[in-house]
Structure 1
Amino acid sequence: MLRHSHSQLSATAPHLRRFSTVDPNLLLQSYTVTPPLKPWPQRLYPKRLVSMITRQQNLDLALQIFHYAGKFHPDFSHNYDTYHAIIQRLCRAREFNAVESLLSDLRHSHIKCGENLFVDVIRSYGLASKPDLAVKTFLRIHTFDVQRSVRSLNTLLNALVQNKRYGLVHVLFKNSQTRFGVVPNVFTCNI
């Protein structure tokens, strides 16, 4: 049976070889990708894309706009603000698989981030009764080269209290300075 499969592969291999020698740029020239919105702007800046994403009522279309701009618009590059805008929309809609996918893309993009993005994600996980994902998000903030602060700690502790995870609140509070380098403040004690 293995010999038979091998002979079939050998027979079709010359046919497939001609596709592997075609210049990828030539293949791309033969395809056009239609923008998700018409009219699509000739010049696109991050601030304008943020506006397009936030004004778009259809979340799927907002995500298509985000992806189209990053992949197909000439000379456009996403920045922290464009990622924050789409992730914020996805969090409100509780589309957490898409949020996680974009966070992974963001981490690999080496775009400089701010803590506000993570505060929003942690808060959303808390509101969606997903405290374990809120903790996971807090713990990986440093992998984005972002310094955790008392703001993200307080948001996490608040999410855990909302979900009645009091034991975890106590452990995180007790170890916040030694383990995470975050000094609790007055607001932390009021959570």
Structure 2
Amino acid sequence: DGVQYLLQQMKLEGISCAEDLFISVINCYRRAGAAEQALKTFYRMQDFGCKPTVKIYNHLLDALLNENRFHMINPIYSNMKKDGLEPNVYTYNILLKALCKNNRVDGAHKLLVEMSNKGCFPDAVSYTTVVSYLC
């Protein structure tokens, strides 16, 4: 597609890319329902010397969640932790929504406890997500 072509051109011309560019591209693919392309873009970041951040991982996880690709969320989350990155409340909220959408409210409840134990306290979105699936 056109975006991948432009990224390739930028690489060939030695143009470095910042985190914001990759977030924008991943979000475009999320809105288009193209999680596979978002994932492909994520893996190409390293070609540009751009290291994944929690923010980029969150946008990728959200793109996967948007298409109910539950089987891909946990491996990506595991990679995030392997990269030495700590999840933030946004990461946990994406995981909570994924668990609830996959009818695993019990897992969501456990994740709420894990959040608190790790010092990342649930916010209103965290609780609203779980409560809405209990009703």
The TM-score by the shorter chain falls in which range? Answer: 0.7 to 0.9
CA distance in structure 2 between the aligned counterparts of 1:140 and 1:82, rounded to whole angstroms: 21
Secondary structure at the counterpart of residue 81 of structure 2:
helix
**RMSD (Å) for aligned C-alpha atoms:** 2.7
Runs of 4+ displaced beyond 6 Å: none
User: 1:33-53 CA deviation, whole Å, 9 max, x = no partner?
Assistant: xxxxxxxxxxxxxxxxxxxxx
Task: Determine if contact 1:122/1:159 at 8 Å carries over to the other structure.
Answer: no
In the alignment, what sits opposite 1:83? Answer: 22
Structure that is richer in helix per residue: 2
- Report matched runs for 1:130-169 at 5 Å: 130-169=69-108
> Which of structures 1 and 2 has the larger relative contact order (alpha carbons within 8 angstroms, sep 6+)?
2
CA distance in structure 1 between the aligned counterparts of 2:49 and 2:82, rounded to whole angstroms: 10
How far the C-alpha of 1:76 sits from its partner, in A, is: 1.1
Larger Rg belongs to: 1
2:111 maps to 1:172 = yes
Percentage identity across paired residues of the two chains: 15
CA 166–122 in structure 1, closer or farther in 2 if over 3 Å, else same? same
Task: Determine if contact 2:39/2:60 at 8 Å carries over to the other structure.
Answer: no
Q: Which runs of 5+ in 1 are unaligned?
A: 1-59
- Report matched runs for 1:63-74 at 5 Å: 63-70=4-11, 72-73=12-13
In the alignment, what sits opposite 1:3? Answer: none
Q: Which runs of 5+ in 2 are unaligned?
A: 130-135
How far the C-alpha of 1:171 sits from its partner, in A, is: 2.9
In the superposition, the TM-score normalised over structure 1's length comes to 0.55
Aligned residues: 129
Secondary structure at the counterpart of residue 153 of structure 1:
helix
How far the C-alpha of 1:128 sits from its partner, in A, is: 0.9
How far the C-alpha of 1:78 sits from its partner, in A, is: 1.8
User: 1:81-124 CA deviation, whole Å, 9 max, x = no partner?
Assistant: 22222222222233333332332333576524443322222222
